[in-house]
């Protein structure tokens, strides 16, 4: 009998204290060894007025960043679902997730969005946010290790928002919706 795939429990010490996700390239910059994602730590230090450890507030700076490869190797072997997977949901129950997340059937949401386009920008923005939440609820069934998750999100996750490649377009669209966006919605020329 084949082993059923089982997601690993991710302990708190594997979580970045800045982005609150599983650490990617765990990096430390203080004598206590407190780690965060490398990208998060660099951004934090560049944007922070206080050059200090996020956890213990020990003075530090970007030149002291050290990648914790042992911790990275342990984390990269953890089995996880895509970050866009619906918690405890099966692929057949998307309508109930939609109703719970958005509070409206999608048909009603689209009707309200059309009305909002004629009204205030604030109403339009609120409805667009609800529509995006509905789209994000659409499940990605990918399963693998943390070490493969970044590549999955960068290249194949249908629920990951990606930047439109058309020159001049700054919109981020779910990968699964990109061809429709480029075909029918995007006002900018395709890059040759």
Which residues have a Cβ under 8 Å from the Cβ of 101 and sit 6 or more positions away?
Answer: 133, 134, 137
Q: Give the pLDDT confidence score for residue 21 in this predicted structure.
A: 87
Per the model's pLDDT, the better-predicted residue between 89 and 105 turns out to be: 105
Q: Give the pLDDT confidence score for residue 184 in this predicted structure.
A: 86
Average the pLDDT over 141-164 and give the result.
91
Exposure string of 130-160, with b = 16+ CB inside 10 Å and e = fewer, is bbeebbbbbbbebbeebeebeebbeeebbbb
User: Which residues are 76's β-sheet partners?
Assistant: none
**Most distant CA atoms of the chain, gap in Å:** 59
Query: Contact at 8 Å (CB) between 174 and 158?
Result: yes
To the nearest 10 degrees (0 to 180), the angle between helices 94-102 and 106-117 is: 40
- Residue range 91-139, pLDDT digits in tens: 333 333 333 334 444 555 556 556 655 566 666 666 666 666 655 555 7
Query: Contact at 8 Å (CB) between 43 and 17?
Result: no
DSSP assignment of 115-176 = HHHTS-HHHHHHHHHHHHHHHHTS----EEEHHHHHHHHHHT-TTSEEE--STT---EEEGG
Q: Give the pLDDT confidence score for residue 82 in this predicted structure.
A: 87
CA distance 177 to 82: 18
Which residues have a Cβ under 8 Å from the Cβ of 168 and sit 6 or more positions away?
Answer: 188, 189
Q: Give the pLDDT confidence score for residue 88 in this predicted structure.
A: 47
Residue 45 has pLDDT above 60, yes or no: yes
Among 80, 101, 110, 82, which residue's Cα sits nearest to residue 6?
Answer: 80
């Amino acid at each position: 009998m084949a082993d059923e795939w089982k997601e690993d429990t991710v302990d708190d010490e594997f979580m970045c204290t800045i982005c609150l996700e599983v650490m990617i390239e765990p990096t430390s910059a203080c004598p206590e060894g407190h780690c965060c994602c490398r990208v998060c730590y660099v951004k934090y230090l560049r944007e922070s007025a206080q050059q200090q450890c996020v956890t213990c507030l020990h003075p530090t700076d970007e030149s002291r960043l050290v990648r914790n490869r042992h911790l990275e190797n342990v984390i990269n072997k953890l089995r996880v679902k895509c970050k866009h997977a619906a918690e405890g949901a099966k692929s057949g129950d998307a309508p109930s997730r939609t109703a719970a997340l958005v509070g409206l059937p999608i048909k009603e949401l689209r009707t309200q969005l059309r009305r909002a386009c004629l009204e205030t920008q604030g109403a339009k923005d609120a409805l667009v946010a609800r529509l995006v939440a509905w789209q994000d609820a659409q499940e990605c069934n990918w399963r693998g290790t943390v070490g493969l998750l970044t590549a999955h999100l960068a290249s194949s996750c249908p629920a990951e928002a990606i930047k439109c490649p058309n020159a001049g377009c700054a919109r981020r669209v779910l990968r699964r919706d990109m061809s429709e966006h480029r075909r029918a919605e995007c006002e900018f020329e395709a890059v040759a």
